[in-house]
Structure 1
Amino acid sequence: MLFRCWSSAGSFVVHKRALQSLQMVYAEYGDPSKVLHERTEELKPLSKGELRYKMLAASINPSDINQVQGVYPVKPPLPAVGGGDCVMKVEELGPEVKEFQVGDWAIPSHPGFGAWRTCGITTPEHLIKVNNKLPAQYAATLSVNPSTAYRMLKGYVKLGAGDAVLQNAANSAVGQLIIQLARHFGHKTVNIIRDKNDGGKTAEYLRSLGADYVVTDTQFKEESKRIFGELGPPKLALNCVSGRSTLYLAGALAPRGKLVTYGGMSKQALQIPSGALIFKNIQVLGFWLTDWDQKPENRQQRIQMLDELSELALSGKLKMPLYESVPFKDFGRAMEESLTGTGKKKMLVFD
């Protein structure tokens, strides 16, 4: 029996017992352009309880880069294969594997999976089955940005129909998903974007996704009273910028409202007005999806969330922010552009 696997040189044919996996590996922390290197590993025959998979798509996210740099909280044992978020196809089952069938698609259930490889061997507890009707790009990112947006809308405040959600970084991948999910759940969104001269194209695009209000940082200072006079003050504010932006988010919150931080794009500390804490008793919280994902009591809820997000995507109610597809053989270019912030985020695709 013969299999095909991808190498940097192209497609080659190997026998079953000589199936090889091309991987991007790091043995020390540091600059990804210097510490990542190519490795070819021969895959052993499957043992009891193991399965073999072929990688379909894997993203390059800031958290992946931070992990290679050694500044991310999740640190797999070294040497490690880089990358975490991906979708794979099950190609062979070892003895006593009942949870999957050949042809099933799956995503990692744990962080630091090691996604930048053509194929590999794992066990069912490290995977979660996903709908194989999804585009591979969607499936590969399902457990990241869509899940982050979903959990923040569901996990902190009981929001009713018409309740307002305030967010900054509204044009980010998570921000766009918050807009769409909030609309689906019946909430209103007030969305802050950076001051920039683009002729209103960003605001127009966000409104097409379902945004109710889109304002720049400067406009928000001038129009927040009018907006929340119409909607009522928000119970939930979502922060991915930090710095001075959080002054305005916290100041706009309703009494006992919650400010949830999931990023710090400004690389500045949060700024919270004392009055919002003292007189409105707001709560300031942090959200890290990995922490929620890894709690055993959340596993079934996570699976249900992924199923719901998949159905929304398949029905056209959830439009995923697109990545640029890059063949795995061009990994060097994809990483270089990810490090410099050139173009869109990169999605590695595999033959």
Structure 2
Amino acid sequence: MSVSRLASVLPRAARHAPSALSRAILRPFSTSKARLARAIVYTENGDPASVLQALTIPDVTNKPPPSHAHVRFLLSPINPADINVIEGVYPSRPTKTDNLGTREGLGSEGHPVFVGGNEGLAQVVSVGEGVEGLREGDWVVVTKQQSGTWMSERIVPVVDVAKVPGREALTEAQAATLTVNPPTAYNMLHDFVDLKEGDWVVQNGANSAVGQAVIQIAAAKGIKTINLVRNRENLDELKQSLTNLGATHVLTYDELADKAVREKIKGWTKGKEIRLGLNCIGGKETTMMARLLGKDAHLVSYGAMSKQPLSLPTSLFIFKNLTAHGFWQSQWYKTRSAEERDELMKTIVQLIAEKKLDTPEIEVVKIGKEESDTAASETIRGVFKALSEGKYGKKVLLKLD
């Protein structure tokens, strides 16, 4: 079931019967002419389908202070890591705020909340004194980790955002997803092995947003990929979709377990050793994949979707001199200069402009201003319930009017 269909069947009776909490939030603004904005918040860690809620807040009306900008969010992705953040199991954690402008209740002084979201595209509404290089109408992406992007708008320090280069070549969806998945794919393909045209890479989780970016960036450089996915009902359709992106071969983990297939892989590579493996799964699936790697290869892990330990045969280290790494794009940003970060973004934008890289299939979840907080909360919780059940494979982008 798609998110849009899911949202359409969620209860809407609450629009006409706001909760006591909603009434408390809305009361201070009911007689004023102030516009209203929205934020997706939570007060404690837990299952996103249970703890997330929509909160009506005052729209920004004041001029930004010096070195700040007033931005209005256009699209904010929902990434797998966002789920882990809300659950409280992700290393990078947000900070609670009680400065959302509400006069009482959640988000007001003494009643702090977490604002969800780590990645987002916004448009500059106005800038404060001393701001250079940004002006009204510019597109920016948030660069500060866990700063809260699931909002209609907010005032941000300009050091926490970066101007999107070459925005005329990008759709909103492409710009909104610039800072996490494509950079992860690009850096893993470039930072560990000096890959040349004709070299081979093997990866699991190949249908993920990062996996699809790996396929496209590798294909643009003439690098061949073996891509592993789990078995499913629409397997042939998925294999064709990844092949259309540039995948050289697509296999399921069940197929990989067949020794005959492993011999077939040797024929595909014509004896050329696979020097780079990319892992976001863990568990036995990664153990099988690691056995495909050749001498002096590198295994890079950037996720653990199976929630199982990474188990590697000692023989791979002794006889093949395997090197295992962990990769976290957030850490890359923390340790690199602003010039390096800007150069990476320009490179990703150039790949998109040249039609060598695109976003996965997307679905926009729109929450309108006419929805009550109760109804909007049901919608966002329904989205996360659908995500946890794996009912669709599209990338979800959030739009708050």
2:234 aligned partner, one-letter code: D
Query: What is the CA distance between 1:89 and its match in structure 2?
Result: 0.2
1:303 aligns with one of 342, 363, 374: 342
- The superposition leaves residues 210-247 of structure 1 with CA deviations (integer Å, 9 ceiling, x where unpaired) of 11111222333432333234421211001111111122
Match of 2:173 in 1: 137
Q: Does 1:99 align with 2:133?
A: yes
Q: Does 1:116 align with 2:156?
A: no
Match of 1:14 in 2: none
Match of 2:299 in 1: 259
Distance 2:361 2:233 in 1: 23
Distance change >3 Å, CA 314–CA 155, structure 1 → 2: same
Distance change >3 Å, CA 179–CA 186, structure 1 → 2: same
When normalised by structure 1's length, the TM-score is: 0.89
Match of 2:322 in 1: 282
2:68 aligns with one of 50, 68, 93: 50
Does the 8 A contact of 1:258 with 1:285 survive in 2?
yes
The structure 1 segments of at least 4 consecutive aligned residues displaced by more than 4 Å after TM superposition are: 17-20
Query: What is the CA distance between 1:197 and its match in structure 2?
Result: 4.4
Query: What is the CA distance between 1:42 and its match in structure 2?
Result: 5.1
2:80 aligned partner, one-letter code: P
Match of 2:399 in 1: 349
60-69 vs 106-115, which deviates more?
A: 60-69
Distance 1:123 1:268 in 2: 39
2:351 aligned partner, one-letter code: L
Identity of aligned residues (%): 34
2:81 aligns with one of 44, 54, 63: 63
1:257 aligned partner, one-letter code: A
Match of 2:263 in 1: 225
1:126 aligned partner, one-letter code: D
Determine helix, strand or coil for the equivalent of 2:38: strand
Distance change >3 Å, CA 165–CA 199, structure 1 → 2: closer
Query: What is the CA distance between 1:276 and its match in structure 2?
Result: 0.6
Query: What is the CA distance between 1:120 and its match in structure 2?
Result: 0.8
Gaps of 5+ in 1: 1-7, 10-16
Distance 1:34 1:22 in 2: 19
Distance 1:107 1:101 in 2: 14
Does the 8 A contact of 2:94 with 2:146 survive in 1?
yes
Distance 2:179 2:377 in 1: 22
Query: What is the CA distance between 1:32 and its match in structure 2?
Result: 2.8
1:324 aligns with one of 363, 376, 390: 363
Q: Does 1:82 align with 2:116?
A: yes
Match of 1:27 in 2: 43
Distance 2:236 2:51 in 1: 42
Gaps of 5+ in 2: 1-14, 17-32, 97-112, 369-375
Does the 8 A contact of 2:63 with 2:127 survive in 1?
no
Does the 8 A contact of 1:21 with 1:118 survive in 2?
yes
Q: Does 1:245 align with 2:285?
A: yes
Does the 8 A contact of 1:23 with 1:41 survive in 2?
no
Distance change >3 Å, CA 197–CA 23, structure 1 → 2: closer
**Between Structure 1 and Structure 2, how many residues are aligned?**
338
309-318 vs 224-233, which deviates more?
A: 224-233
Determine helix, strand or coil for the equivalent of 2:364: strand
Distance 1:199 1:21 in 2: 42
Does the 8 A contact of 1:292 with 1:298 survive in 2?
no
314-323 vs 37-46, which deviates more?
A: 37-46
2:311 aligned partner, one-letter code: Q
Distance 2:308 2:144 in 1: 30
Equivalence map 1:150-229=2 (5 Å):
150-198=186-234, 200-220=236-256, 221=258, 222-229=260-267
Taking CA–CA contacts closer than 8 Å with sequence separation of 6 or more, which of the two structures ends up with the larger relative contact order? 2
